[in-house]
């Protein structure tokens, strides 16, 4: 999304045997379909000694220049802001000319194996846990085999810790009360991924006490989630009548509780008379609780309240918070979604950035939309909202730019429940084709996943061939930047899919499932500043290259699926995200660089970057650059 004057983005992907000319031809063809009569200018040029194609005028949010070229079997795409009518065009052209003339390739590592094959991520592969006939089964991508680790026959839900070492599972049982002998109650358990050391964390009777269940009330864990980088779980309980309407989607949540799977110690974050949506921070240290009336932030270690942010000052007397939000990846702020002017069809909404250190909140954008759901790009550059002219008319997801200073956000992998537009952890957007019914009631569609154009303004702007899923898809959840789990309708099946089109069957009729991308540990250490000492002075609009030396201190091998990405502070026209471009073994050092532009205004500027794993998780050291503009 090119919402700032002097901006440039780079994307690298498998060229799949295509030349730059073929990619450009397809881009023009797609543009002419989505915008008949569009005029696109084409130019041949050279970048780093490679033949390249430049296209001006592709459809999108703002005027852009796209440059594509192929090297070592990979397609490189450079995207620049390119508004010749803008007063900032000289800066745009300077940035363009500098990057094109100085672009250089890093040494190429061997391309990664196909995403559907074992060992996609060096040092580990996907582990998928699911329920089969009430038993817990763990399927390992490395072997293509599943192993039953819990055979109790009564499991109804599973969750896999982010290090893929522990499996949390909910067991359901029946009891007689109130003249009915099949009232339901649940208990929370955990075991190692190999089935070792199974133990009960929250007995059924304890949950009943926590939610103040009446004698004949049924109980369950409707919300359950691992806190990142820990072996602690968050959960909410509920009560319902098993012989009445049952446990529906609108059954009220009761309280928020935390339990440590190692020590079995826990505490209450919110009492049973509250109904909060909880969101743990990416670093695992904080927990945000959101309801319509406000936002609370708690310390995950002590349970102490850190912040209270009421809805009324933002949403007014008639508005409210939408009950959801996302953390920034640096865990320093929470982005809350406020309904400020409610209406029957199209309401007005606002996104607010709320720092957890008590600094003043900041309104990011205001927009009209048809629903309260917002889907964020992982790099924080844009968000998708639903727009419609009438309550029953056509609708589309509109992609809107977000302010530069927001930085990357921690996007849930399971946004698919309220939007068929989704961003992969690697940052590319996709849309699942619509489901429709014929006159006989037969279902059609939902068999293909389409990539959106890099500068798309709506979800109808697709570029490139679709990814064929084969069967009608009900649900999709990302495993990492190139792989995803998906469940089909009828018959209900669970598959591991890949952006390269490969599909691996895993299970029939899974009741619940979860996955993690790797079984190795990512970490990094700062070694040295190679260039630009802190406080270096630069004249306004001066280009400079900052280089850090970073050590791989984990036990995963870094490959082309790892990225160096902007985290927070001042980006200084640097890349939001760039592929690592080489293989780095555990214990090895690597020099990582970003090309930056000193701002036009005088001041002190500081920007922070970090490494991201294939599943979109930041890890390790957070190197920064700090300069002065006199």
630 and 543 part of one domain: yes
| In-domain check, residue 183 | no
Tell me if 228 is assigned to some domain.
no
Domain boundary among 491, 519, 547: 519
Weakly modelled stretches of the chain, pLDDT under 50 = 1-6, 61, 107-123, 391
Number of domains in the chain: 3
> What pLDDT, in 10s, does the model give residues 528-555?
999 999 999 999 999 999 999 999 999 8
Q: Are residues 14 and 86 in the same domain?
A: yes
Same domain, 473 and 493: yes
Q: In this structure, is residue 81 part of a structural domain? A: yes
Model pLDDT, residue 415: 55
100 and 124 co-located in one domain: no
DSSP track, 46-86: EETTEEEEEEE--SSSS-EEEEEEEETTEEEEEEEE--TTS
Instruction: Give tens-digit pLDDT for 99-143.
Output: 888 777 654 433 333 333 223 333 458 899 999 999 999 999 989
Domain-embedded: residue 170? no
pLDDT of residue 419: 62
Residue 627 and residue 532 in contact, taking contact as beta carbons nearer than 8 Å: yes
Q: Are 420 and 411 in contact (CB under 8 A)?
A: no
Q: Of 53, 76, 105, which marks where a domain is finished? A: 105
Asked if residues 171 and 154 have their Cβ atoms less than 8 Å apart, the reply is yes
Same domain, 480 and 526: no
pLDDT of res. 388: 63
Q: Are 593 and 104 in contact (CB under 8 A)?
A: no
* Sign of the four-CA dihedral 438, 441, 446, 447: negative
pLDDT of residue 60: 65
Q: Provide the 8-state DSSP code for 36.
A: T
The Cα–Cα gap between 9 and 427 comes to: 12
Residue 444 included in any domain? yes
- Residue 159: strand pairing partners: 168
**Spatial separation of the C-alpha atoms in residues 381 and 400, rounded to whole Å:** 8
H or E, element range at 336: strand 333-341
Looking at residue 105, its pLDDT comes to 64
Q: What is the CATH number of the domain that holds 26?
A: 3.40.1000.10
E-state strands within 389-521: 395-401, 421-423, 429-432, 435-437, 443-445, 448-451, 467-468, 473-478, 483-488, 493-498, 503-508, 513-516
- 388-to-18, 346, 417 alpha-carbon distances in Å: 38, 7, 19
Q: Tell me how far apart the alpha carbons of residues 431 and 245 are, in angstroms, rounded to a whole number.
A: 34
Helix/strand/coil for 526: strand
pLDDT for the residue 394: 55
The per-residue b/e assignment along 189-203, b for 16 or more CB within 10 angstroms, e otherwise, is bbbebeeeeeeebbe
Cα–Cα distance measured from residue 99 to residue 76, given in angstroms and rounded to the nearest whole number: 13
Instruction: Please indicate, yes or no, whether residues 506 and 567 belong to a single structural domain of this protein.
Output: no
Asked whether residue 490 is domain-assigned, the answer is: yes
The pLDDT score that the predictor gives to residue 451 is 92
Neighbouring CB atoms inside 10 A of 368's CB total 15
Q: What is the pLDDT of residue 270?
A: 95
Residue 532 sits in the same domain as residue 630: yes
Tokens of 77: 């795409």
What number of other Cβ atoms are within 10 A of residue 19's Cβ?
A: 15
3-state DSSP assignment of residue 312: helix
Mark whether 505 and 552 lie in a shared domain: no
Q: DSSP labels for 194-212?
A: TS-S-EEEE-HHHHHHHTT
Confidence (pLDDT) at 430: 93
Cis geometry, peptide bond prior to residue 130 (ω within 30 degrees of 0): no
What is the model's pLDDT at position 2? Answer: 37
Within 10 Å of residue 271's Cβ, how many Cβ atoms?
A: 12
In a shared domain, residues 490 and 510? yes
Q: Is residue 331 part of a domain?
A: no
143 and 86 assigned to the same domain: no
Q: Which two tokens stand for residue 174?
A: 């029946």
Q: How far apart are CA 283 and CA 583, in angstroms?
A: 26
Based on the number of CB atoms within 10 Å of its own CB, is 630 exposed (0-12), middle (13-18) or buried (19 or more)? Answer: exposed
User: Of 472, 492, 519, which residue constitutes the final position of a domain?
Assistant: 519
Q: Do 594 and 492 belong together in one domain?
A: no
Domain around 18? 1-105
- As a dihedral over the C-alpha atoms of residue 592, residue 595, residue 600, residue 606, rounded to 10 degrees, the angle is -10
395-401 sheet: strands from edge to edge: 375-376, 382-388, 395-401
pLDDT at 350: 92
Q: CA nearest 39: which of 21, 62, 15, 57?
A: 57
Residue 183: C-alpha distances to residues 18, 158, 462, 627 (Å): 60, 21, 49, 65
Give the number of other Cβ atoms within 10 Å of residue 43's Cβ: 11
Pick from 310, 405, 411, 418: nearest CA to 372: 418
Other residues' Cβ atoms within 10 Å of the Cβ of residue 248: 7
User: Can you tell me whether residue 141 is helix, strand or coil?
Assistant: coil
- Domain identity same for 614 and 530: yes
- Asked if residue 126 belongs to a domain, the reply is yes
> For residue 533, what is the domain's CATH number?
2.60.40.10
Give the C-alpha separation, 466 to 471, whole Å: 14
Strands 266-270, 254-260: pairing kind: antiparallel
Per-residue confidence (pLDDT) for residue 124, from 0 to 100 = 52
Determine which helix (DSSP H) or strand (DSSP E) holds 23, and give its type and residue range. Answer: helix 20-34
Look at strands 624-629 and 536-537 and give their pairing: parallel
Does the CA dihedral 145-150-155-161 come out positive or negative? negative
> What does the block give as tokens for 216?
């004949």
DSSP state letter for 344: S
Q: Which two tokens stand for residue 229?
A: 């980088």
CB count in 10 Å sphere of residue 464: 16
């Amino acid at each position: 999304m090119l919402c700032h004057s002097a901006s440039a983005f780079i994307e690298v992907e498998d060229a799949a045997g295509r030349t730059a000319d073929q990619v450009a031809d397809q881009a023009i063809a797609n543009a002419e379909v989505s915008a008949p009569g569009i005029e696109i200018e084409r130019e041949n040029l050279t970048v780093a000694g490679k033949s390249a194609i430049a296209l001006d005028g592709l459809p999108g949010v703002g005027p852009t220049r796209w440059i594509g070229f192929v090297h070592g079997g990979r397609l490189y795409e450079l995207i620049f802001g390119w508004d010749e009518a803008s007063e900032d065009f000289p800066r745009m052209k300077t940035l363009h000319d500098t990057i094109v003339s100085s672009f250089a390739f890093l040494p190429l590592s061997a391309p990664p194996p196909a995403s559907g094959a074992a060992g996609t991520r060096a040092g580990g592969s996907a582990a998928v846990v699911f329920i089969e006939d009430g038993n817990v089964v763990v399927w390992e991508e490395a072997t293509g085999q599943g192993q039953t680790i819990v055979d109790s026959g009564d499991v109804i839900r599973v969750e896999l810790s982010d290090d893929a070492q522990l499996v949390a599972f909910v067991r359901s049982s029946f009891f007689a009360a109130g003249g009915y002998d099949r009232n339901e109650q649940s208990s929370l358990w955990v075991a190692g991924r190999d089935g070792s050391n199974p133990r009960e964390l929250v007995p059924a009777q304890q949950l009943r006490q926590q939610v103040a269940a009446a004698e004949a009330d049924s109980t369950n864990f409707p919300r359950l989630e691992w806190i990142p980088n820990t072996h602690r779980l968050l959960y909410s309980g509920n009560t319902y009548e098993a012989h009445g309407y049952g446990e529906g989607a609108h059954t009220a949540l009761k309280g928020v509780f935390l339990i440590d799977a190692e020590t079995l110690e826990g505490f209450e974050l919110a009492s049973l008379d509250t109904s909060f949506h909880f969101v743990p921070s990416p670093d695992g240290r904080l927990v945000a609780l959101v309801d319509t009336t406000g936002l609370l932030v708690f310390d995950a270690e002590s349970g102490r309240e850190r912040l209270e942010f009421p809805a009324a000052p933002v949403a007014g007397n008639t508005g409210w918070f939408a009950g959801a939000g996302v953390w920034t990846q640096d865990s320093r702020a929470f982005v809350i979604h406020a309904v400020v002017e409610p209406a029957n069809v199209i309401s007005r909404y606002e996104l607010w950035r709320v720092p957890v250190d008590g600094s003043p909140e900041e309104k990011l954008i205001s927009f009209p939309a048809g629903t309260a759901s917002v889907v964020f790009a992982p790099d924080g550059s844009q968000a998708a909202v639903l727009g419609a002219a009438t309550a029953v008319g056509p609708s589309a997801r509109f992609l809107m730019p977000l302010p530069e200073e927001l930085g990357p956000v921690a996007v849930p992998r399971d946004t698919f429940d309220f939007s068929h537009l989704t961003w992969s952890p690697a940052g590319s957007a996709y849309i699942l084709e619509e489901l429709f019914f014929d006159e006989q009631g037969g279902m059609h569609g939902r068999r293909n996943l389409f990539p959106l154009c890099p500068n798309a303004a709506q979800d109808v702007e697709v570029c490139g061939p679709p990814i064929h899923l084969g069967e009608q898809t009900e649900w999709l959840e990302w495993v990492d930047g190139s792989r995803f789990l998906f469940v089909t309708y009828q018959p209900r099946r669970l598959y591991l899919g890949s952006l390269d089109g490969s599909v691996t069957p895993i299970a029939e009729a899974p009741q619940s499932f979860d996955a993690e991308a790797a079984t190795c540990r990512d970490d990094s250490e700062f070694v040295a500043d190679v260039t630009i000492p802190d406080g270096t002075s630069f004249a306004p609009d001066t280009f400079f290259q900052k280089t850090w030396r970073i050590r791989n201190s984990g036990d995963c091998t870094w490959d082309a699926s790892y990225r160096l990405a902007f985290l927070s502070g001042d980006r200084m026209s640097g890349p939001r995200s760039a592929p690592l471009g080489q293989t780095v073994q555990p214990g090895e050092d690597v020099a990582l660089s970003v090309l930056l532009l000193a701002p036009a205004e005088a001041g002190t500027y500081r920007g922070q970057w970090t490494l991201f794993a294939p599943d979109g998780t930041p890890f390790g050291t957070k190197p920064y650059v700090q300069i002065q503009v006199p």
